[in-house]
Amino acid sequence: MATAVVKIGTSSVTDAAGAIAEDAIKKLVAEVAALRGEGQRVVVVTSGAISAGLPRLGLHEPRPTDMPTLQAVAAVGQSRLMRVYDDAFSAHDIVCGQVLLAPLDFIHRQQYLHARQTLTRLLDLGVVPVVNENDAVADDEIRFGDNDRLAALVAHLVDADLLVLLTDTDGVFTADPRLDANATLIEDIVAVDAALEAAAGGAGTERGSGGMASKLAAARIASRSGVLTVIAAAARDGVLAAALRGDAGTGTVVRAADKRLGRRKLWIAFALASSGTITVDDGARSALIERGTSLLPAGVTGTRGAFNEGDGVEIAGADGVVFAKGIAAHGAAWVDGAKGKRSDALSPGEDHEVVHRDDLVVLDG
C-alpha cells in the first residue's frame, strides 16, 4: 500500500476572479477517490482559504495586504473551503478530516511527533486528511508562506512514497514558458541544487504565494526524505494515477536521494528554525563535511544571533555560505568565549562540543 501526499495550490483551486473553483476540487477529489479504490492512502494539502473568504466578506478589490485582515479572511474562508472538500468527498462516500498546521508544529519536537501521530491515525482510520497552514493565527515572521514546503514536510511525517505538487503548468521548464516560447519541459531531475532553484524564478501567480522555485525547494526536502516528487498540471486528466504509475510525460519527476536523512536529522535540516549562525574556518568545514565530526571551538571564528543551548543554528564557512545546520550545545555567549580555543584550554569536565555530530546535518547544494 503506497502513501501519496498531493498538494494543490491556490491558482489551481480558484477561478480567474479568485473565487473557489468547486469543479477543480471535485476533479481532484474524484482522482483521490480512484486511488483510494486501489488501496492507496492519500493526504491532500490544499491552499485557498483566503480566496474562499474574500468574496464572502466583499473584499475582492483591492485585495487586502495587511496581516490582521488576511488572517480574518482566512478564518472565514477555511470553513467554506472545507465545506467544499467535505461535500466532494462525501459524494464518494469518503470521510475527510481537517488538519491545520503551523511552523511551530514542526519546530517543537513534541508538537512534531503529535502531528505525525494525528496524521497517521487518520490514515489508519480510512480518513483523507486535508491539510492547510493555519493562516488565521500564523505569525507573519514564522510561517511557511506557501504550502509546497508544508507538503514536503507532511510527506516526511507520514513516510510517503510519493509527493505530487499540482500547479497550473505541466512541470519544470528550461525557461519560463510564459515568457519564452522555446521553453521545454524537464521530465527528470536527479538532484535539486541551489542553482536550479534560483533559475526557476519567483512567485507563480498573483493569487498564489508559491512559484516553481518553491516547488523545487519542496522537492529537495522530499528527496532527502527518500520521497519521489512529481510536479504536474492539476488540470491534466488522471494526473494522480499517472504520477503514481510513473507514466512518462506526466510532469517533472524529481528523484529520491540515494542516501536519505534519518527522521531526526531531516527535522533538524528542514523543520527546525535557526536562531543564529556559527562561522567556521576551512579546516573545520572540511572536517564536518568529509569526516562527519562534531564541531569544536577550535574551528569556530564567530557567531551571529543570540541563540541559546538547544536552539537551531546554521553553520557557515569563511565565505559566509551556509553549508550545515545543527542544534547548539551551548549558547552564543559561551561559543564566543570559547572560539578558536583547543579543548585542553577549556574548563575540564565541561562539554566542549559546540554542535555534536548527532545533532549536525551537512546540507546539499
Of the listed ranges 38-42, 218-222, 228-232, the one predicted with least confidence? 218-222
The Cα 210–Cα 200 span in angstroms is: 11
**Among the three residues 264, 297, 325, which one is the final residue of a domain in this structure?**
264
**Segments of the chain assigned E as strands:** 3-8, 41-46, 96-101, 128-133, 162-167, 188-189, 228-233, 252-254, 274-280, 300-304, 312-316, 322-327, 360-362
Average pLDDT over residues 232-236: 95
Question: Which pLDDT belongs to residue 201?
Answer: 59
The Cα 190–Cα 181 span in angstroms is: 25
Residues 128, 175: one domain? yes
Provide the residue range defining the domain that includes 287: 273-362
Q: Pairing relation of β-strands 128-133 and 41-46?
A: parallel
pLDDT tens for each residue of 329-355: 999 999 999 999 888 778 776 788 999
Residues 242, 348: one domain? no
Of the listed ranges 127-141, 145-159, 220-234, the one predicted with least confidence? 127-141
Which of 282, 283, 319, 280 lies closest to 303 in space, CA to CA? 280
How many Å is the maximal CA-CA distance in the chain? 71
Average pLDDT over residues 146-157: 89
Question: Which pLDDT belongs to residue 144?
Answer: 59
CA distances from 339 to 159, 172, 196 (A): 40, 44, 35
Residues 253, 283: one domain? no
Question: Which pLDDT belongs to residue 197?
Answer: 67
Residues 291, 207: one domain? no
The number of residues in the chain equals: 365
Average pLDDT over residues 113-120: 93
Residues 233, 282: one domain? no
Residues near 201 by beta carbon (within 8 Å), at least 6 away in sequence:
176, 211, 212, 213
The Cα 108–Cα 100 span in angstroms is: 16
Residues 234, 128: one domain? yes
Residues 309, 260: one domain? no
Residues 28, 71: one domain? yes
Residues 253, 279: one domain? no
Residues 240, 104: one domain? yes
Of the listed ranges 117-121, 130-134, 181-185, 295-299, the one predicted with least confidence? 181-185
- Which CATH number fits the domain that encloses residue 347? 2.30.130.10
Q: How many domains does the chain have?
A: 2
Global pTM reads: 0.84
Residues 322, 184: one domain? no
Q: Pairing relation of β-strands 41-46 and 274-280?
A: unpaired
* Mean pLDDT estimate for the chain: 88
pLDDT tens for each residue of 318-329: 999 999 999 999
Question: Which pLDDT belongs to residue 110?
Answer: 85
Q: Pairing relation of β-strands 252-254 and 312-316?
A: unpaired
Would you state the cell numbers that stand for residue 115, as one nine-digit string? 502531528
- Which CATH number fits the domain that encloses residue 120? 3.40.1160.10
The Cα 170–Cα 231 span in angstroms is: 7
Residues 111, 21: one domain? yes
**Is residue 275 a contact partner of residue 107, using CB atoms and an 8 Å limit?**
no
**Among the three residues 232, 264, 296, which one is the final residue of a domain in this structure?**
264
**Among the three residues 264, 286, 317, which one is the final residue of a domain in this structure?**
264
